[in-house]
Amino acid sequence: MLGLLAAVLFVGWTQWQLWQPLKGGGEGAVTVEIPQGATASEVASKLQEAGVVDSATLFGLRALISGKRQNLVAGTLQLKRNMSYSAALAALSGTVPFQAETTSVTTQEGLSIREVAQRFKRQGVLDDYGATAKKIFKTSRSKLRTTYKMPASVDTLEGFLFPATYELPVPAKADDLVTRQLQSFQQNFNGISLTKAKRAGLTPYEVLIIASMVEREARLTRERKLIAAVIYNRLKLNMPLGIDATFRYASGDWTNPIKQSELDKDGPYNSRKRIGLPPTPIGNPGLASIEAAADPANVNYLYFVVKPNRCGEHAFSATNEKFLADQAKYNQARDAAGKSPVTC
């Protein structure tokens, strides 16, 4: 009699656990990656590891009973934690539409990791963005060195965090954003032809460094390839690049005039004293600047300076004489205006 009672209680308990009459659609948000071709058991394990369901075994049994074991979808799924087996099955089989709450997070082209982190801090979101970038760099370092020829001395993801607008599960987490940015960079960069760069003896990482400088210097899309050409030409002639944005990256000051004492002080980002590229990118460039850095214009320009009374347009030149004349026009307009003669 006691054995029969125990058996009845066990069956009842199992049914309760299997059908979860008091459990609903879950809470919060979690991203789960289900590989193509994953078996039902593998899917169930992924869900249990992510906290979506309580038991991979019972989820698999529910999928078998419902006849949905062979119809579970693959891909990057936005689910919830602590979902009932029926709610998880519905989300994974397409029985009902499932939309997790998301929020848009945008990072601007050209900004450094430090600048993005400072902006997020002012906005009161993703306070650990900078620390997260350092953490993910440690796990990605080996692949980045192999794939992009990143030097062993580099200790930052600078340049690799692709700027764009990302839809993230609520609440937004820095881990999700940095991971998505790195994945997006890899997808975009892999579509770039590096034929010209290889002929010039440049590695993929060096192309990325050039792209970051192009991003900071170019206001007009049509000038990106021209600025890239100046960098290529100067590298070929062993001329210092003389790009002020490298100073600003090192100092973190993008607004105040650069002091002569800064220009006189040697350092890895002093592109007026040092020959060659800076040791790392000086920001995170967008696709247009990466394309320009990989495929510069076929011109002999060695110099460029901002044209006065124009919105960031540059005057390009192949000789020092022409450059000095263009520079004199800029200085004259600046002195007359008592401020920068750039008008936008």
Mean pLDDT value across residues 31-48: 85
Q: Is the pLDDT of residue 22 over 80?
A: no
The amino acid at residue 227 is I
Q: pLDDT tens for residues 93-129?
A: 764 445 557 788 999 999 999 999 999 999 999 999 9
Residue 2 burial (C-beta neighbours within 10 Å; 0-12, 13-18, 19+): exposed
Q: Which helix (H) or strand (E) holds 139?
A: helix 129-148
DSSP output for 277-318: --SS-SS---HHHHHHHHS--S----EEEEPTTSSS-EEEES
pLDDT, greater one: 92 or 207: 207
Residue 268 near residue 279, CB atoms below 8 Å: yes
C-alpha distances out from residue 104 to 132, 171, 173, 283, 309, Å: 19, 11, 12, 21, 36
Q: pLDDT tens for residues 136-155?
A: 999 999 999 999 999 999 99
Tell me 109's DSSP state. T
Cβ-Cβ contacts under 8 Å for 254 (sequence gap 6 or more): 115, 248
Q: Distance from first CA to last CA of the chain, Å, rounded?
A: 90
pTM: 0.73
Model confidence at 9, in pLDDT bands (50, 70, 90)?
very low
Handedness of CA 84, 85, 88, 93 (dihedral sign): negative
**For 18, what's the count of Cα atoms within 13 Å in the CB-facing half-sphere?**
15
User: Percent of the chain scored above 90 by pLDDT?
Assistant: 57
Q: Is the pLDDT of residue 221 over 60?
A: yes
Q: Is the pLDDT of residue 315 over 70?
A: yes
Rounded to the nearest integer, the mean pLDDT of the chain is 87
C-alpha distances out from residue 254 to 36, 245, 249, Å: 46, 8, 8
Cβ-Cβ contacts under 8 Å for 334 (sequence gap 6 or more): 308, 340, 341
- Rounded distance, CA 219 to CA 314, Å? 9
Q: pLDDT tens for residues 62-74?
A: 877 766 656 677 7
Mean pLDDT value across residues 154-167: 96
Residue 125, both tokens: 């979101």
Q: Is the pLDDT of residue 59 over 90?
A: no
pLDDT for position 6: 41
Q: Is the pLDDT of residue 25 over 80?
A: no
SS3 state of residue 339? coil
Mean pLDDT value across residues 186-204: 96
Model confidence at 4, in pLDDT bands (50, 70, 90)?
very low
Residue 262 near residue 273, CB atoms below 8 Å: no
Q: pLDDT tens for residues 247-285?
A: 999 999 988 888 888 888 889 999 999 999 999 999 999
Q: Is the pLDDT of residue 13 over 70?
A: no
Model confidence at 210, in pLDDT bands (50, 70, 90)?
very high
Model confidence at 297, in pLDDT bands (50, 70, 90)?
very high
Cβ-Cβ contacts under 8 Å for 127 (sequence gap 6 or more): 120, 121
pLDDT for position 96: 45
Cβ-Cβ contacts under 8 Å for 312 (sequence gap 6 or more): 218, 219, 220, 306, 342, 344
- Rounded distance, CA 325 to CA 331, Å? 10
Mean pLDDT value across residues 308-336: 91
Q: Is the pLDDT of residue 182 over 80?
A: yes
Give the residue from 180, 104, 155 showing the smallest Cα distance to 280: 155
Whether the bond between 21 and the residue before it is cis, its omega within 30 degrees of 0, is no
Match 């192309």 to its residue by tokens. 207
Separation of CA 1 from chain center: 66
Residue 343 near residue 309, CB atoms below 8 Å: yes
User: Percent of the chain scored above 70 by pLDDT?
Assistant: 89
